[in-house]
C-alpha cells in the first residue's frame, strides 16, 4: 500500500463504477500521492495499522493526523516559547481562545490549546476566567 503500484479494491463494483466515470485508476498511486502531499504540507506522519485474524476482518487503516509538526509550519520549540510570552502579554486582560489564536496568527486551535495555553495553566502563569467551565471558549 505504501509503495503503490498494485490496486486491490475491496469493492470491485464500486471501483469499476468510479473508473468508468473517469475518477478511478489502476495505477495504485493513490496512497503514495496522499503521503507525499501530507509531507509537503508539513503534517505529522500518517500511521498505517494492519489487522488480520480469524476473529476480525482483514483491515488496513491509514490515519492522517490533521496536526502540523512543530518543526515545520508551526515552528520550533523556541518559537513556541516566544508565542507563550506573547500570549501572556496579550492576556493581561481576559481573552477568549479565539482572540488568542487570532492575535498569535495560528490557525490550529488544538496547537494553541495543548501546546501554549495548557502548559501555562499547569505552571500557574495563566488562569482561567471561568474555572467552573474549563471547556468554555471564553
CB 51 within 8 A of CB 59: yes
- The answer on pLDDT for 138 being more than 80 is no
What confidence category does residue 71 fall into, taking pLDDT thresholds of 50, 70 and 90?
very low
CB neighbour list of residue 102: distance below 8 Å, 6 or more residues apart: none
Grid cell for residue 64 = 492522517
The whole-model pTM stands at 0.44
Distance CA 8, CA 58 (A): 13
- Using DSSP bridges, classify how beta strands 59-63 and 47-51 pair: parallel, antiparallel or unpaired: antiparallel
For 33-47, how does the pLDDT look when each residue is reduced to its tens digit (9 = 90+)? 788 877 777 778 888
- The answer on pLDDT for 19 being more than 70 is yes
Distance CA 17, CA 13 (A): 6
For 98-108, how does the pLDDT look when each residue is reduced to its tens digit (9 = 90+)? 899 889 888 77
Amino acid at each position: 500500500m505504501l509503495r503503490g503500484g498494485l490496486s486491490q479494491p475491496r469493492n470491485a463494483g464500486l471501483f469499476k463504477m468510479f473508473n468508468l466515470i473517469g475518477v478511478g485508476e489502476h495505477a495504485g498511486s493513490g496512497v503514495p500521492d496522499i503521503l507525499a502531499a501530507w509531507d509537503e504540507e508539513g503534517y505529522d506522519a500518517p500511521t498505517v495499522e494492519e489487522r488480520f485474524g480469524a476473529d476480525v476482518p482483514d483491515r488496513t487503516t491509514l490515519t492522517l493526523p490533521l496536526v502540523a509538526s512543530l518543526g515545520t509550519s508551526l515552528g520550533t520549540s523556541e518559537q513556541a516559547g516566544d508565542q507563550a510570552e506573547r500570549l501572556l502579554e496579550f492576556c493581561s486582560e481576559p481573552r477568549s481562545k479565539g482572540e488568542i489564536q487570532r492575535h498569535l496568527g495560528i490557525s490550529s486551535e488544538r496547537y494553541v490549546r495543548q501546546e501554549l495555553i495548557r502548559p501555562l495553566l499547569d505552571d500557574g502563569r495563566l488562569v482561567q476566567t471561568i474555572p467552573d467551565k474549563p471547556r468554555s471558549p471564553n
